[in-house]
Amino acid sequence: MGKFYEMLAGARQRLALPVAVYPGIQETGATVEMVVTDARAQSAAALAIHRRFKTPALLAAMDLSVEAEAFGCPVQISRDEIPTTVGNVAGDRAQAEALPVPLPGDRRTRVQIETVRLLAATGAAPVLAGCIGPFSLAGRLAGLSEACSLTLSDPEHMRLLLRKSTAFLIAYLRALKEAGAAGVIMAEPAAGLLSPRGMAAFSSAYVREIIQAVEDANFDLVLHNCGAKAVHLPSLWEAGARLYHFGAAMDLMAALGKAPASVIVCGNLDPAAIFLQAAPAQVAEATRALLAAARPWRNFVISSGCDVPPPSPLANLEAFFSTVSAEQNC
């Protein structure tokens, strides 16, 4: 297990770590487009959040188009929206077989690597990079609905894409580790669309391979799935992660009750309904309620259920952190 895991496991107080980088542009004056294309803009936004809220880690921005773009998928980048893929490159078997595996540093993966390097150089806190998971990446390469269908109609096509996705992700995470990351939040949302058996076969098996290849005393992998439900928990544990991050769809008390003793569970305040749309008093109320429900479990880190949207009011993040701090003293 890595130092980041040990820091969380050994904490004497409840830690709070929302997945929030993009709201930092409200402090720096950058745009979302700048954050996803310029490592200095991204690191400045991340540092702004860390310095204002005294977060226990520095997070790089979550952008799940980066790895697909490295494989050649067309991506739509706009001034104020997080990028999205707008086409696939491996919808049929011939395309999948011919698809080359990119190198770390290709296209905008270099922005993420350089962001980690800049953040690590500050020495302010452990740095968590972000990346997509193997099934979610393969889903972008083939098209998401097609990928789900392929798990049943042509599983070998899907496995081919998963092998290529996994090979790239292992190399990419090693590059992020070399740049100074103490860990990575791997987002695997598309796996939540699969049955528990499908998740085990087409996601967890490959995540486990990645974990075995990259985790060590200096690097941890946090497995994030904002679409998974309680029925998926046995399949999720098969991935072998020690850190899981869940979205609003998860029954978090069920996850905490069923998690292996060594597992830390993070989540799961709704990023849109709470951090973006609610008033600060409502954020505080939701935060208190989740902390109260999770009070019996020390292996819990309160967080957003997914990436906090760029325009989310900083007053809402302030309410979240202030409430966590106040509850420590109750």
Buried b (16+ CB within 10 A) or exposed e, 1-21: ebebbebbeeeeebbbbbbbb
Residue given tokens 């081919």 in the structure block: 160
Task: Give the pLDDT confidence of 161-201 residue by residue, as tens digits.
Answer: 999 999 999 999 999 999 999 999 999 999 999 999 999 99
What is the reported pLDDT for 330?
52
**Whole-number Cα distances in Å, 329 to 180, 303, 304:** 34, 19, 22
Which alpha helices (H) appear in 180-270, and where do they start and end?
Answer: 196-199, 205-214, 233-237, 252-258
Q: Which two tokens stand for residue 123?
A: 């020495």
Residue 104 has pLDDT above 90, yes or no: yes
Per-residue pLDDT, 329:
65
Whether pLDDT at 91 is above 70: yes
* Exposed / middle / buried, residue 168 (Cβ in 10 Å: 0-12, 13-18, 19+): buried
Say if CB 299 and CB 308 are below 8 A apart. Answer: no
pLDDT at 1: 78
Mean pLDDT of 58-69: 99
pTM of the complete model: 0.98
% pLDDT > 70, the chain: 99
Mean pLDDT, residues 138-151 taken together? 97
Q: How many residues does the chain have?
A: 330
Residue 174 CA to residue 161 CA, distance in Å, equals: 20
Fold for domain 3-243+251-328? TIM Barrel (3.20.20)
Provide the CA 286 distance to its chain's centre, in angstroms.
Answer: 22
**What pLDDT score does 328 carry?**
83
Residues 205-262 have pLDDT tens digits of 999 999 999 999 999 999 999 999 999 999 999 999 999 999 999 999 999 999 999 9
Residues 6+ apart with CB under 8 A from 62: 19, 21, 130, 185, 187, 307
Helix (H, G, I), strand (E, B) or coil at 63: coil
What is the rounded distance in angstroms from the CA atom of residue 79 to the CA atom of residue 281?
A: 30
Mean pLDDT rounded to a whole number for the chain: 98
